[in-house]
Amino acid sequence: MSMFKNKVYKIEDFINLVKEKKERLPNYDFEYCYAVYAKNDNVKIHDEVFIGNSIDFDENDNEVYPEFVITNGFHYFCSDQNIQDVVDLAIRQDADVSNEKLIDALNYYIDNDDFKDQ
């Protein structure tokens, strides 16, 4: 299994992994799929996020969250594709984009289902 999952990170530290593409492989691999869980609806610099398995579903189509998420007060924030798309686009627009701007762009995307113009 990928070594970056099932851990708590400061959001800026995890964004650095995404910027460097260290949390994905060039080709699809299910083991590298993940979800970002947060304690707040919008994340801020220094907030902690939990990177864990994606939401699963039981036989009755009820959502099943990782146990750590439930017991530690986290909730689903975004998918791996969401954070990767936002970070990758922002870097294409500005190779020196700050983590604060990336966090702002991610929150904007989560709130509006659209990319923020940089």
* Residue 104 confidence (pLDDT): 95
Rounded Cα–Cα distance for residues 49 and 7 (Å): 8
Per-residue model confidence as pLDDT tens digits over 81-92: 999 999 999 999
Average pLDDT, the chain: 92
* Residue 113 confidence (pLDDT): 73
pLDDT at 110 exceeding the cut of 60: yes
Give 3's pLDDT tier (boundaries 50, 70, 90).
confident
DSSP secondary-structure letter at 69?
H
pLDDT at 105 exceeding the cut of 80: yes
- Element holding 10 (H helix, E strand): strand 7-10
* Residue 1 confidence (pLDDT): 44
The percent of residues above 90 in pLDDT, for the chain, comes to 84
Nearest to 19 by CA among 109, 113, 101: 101
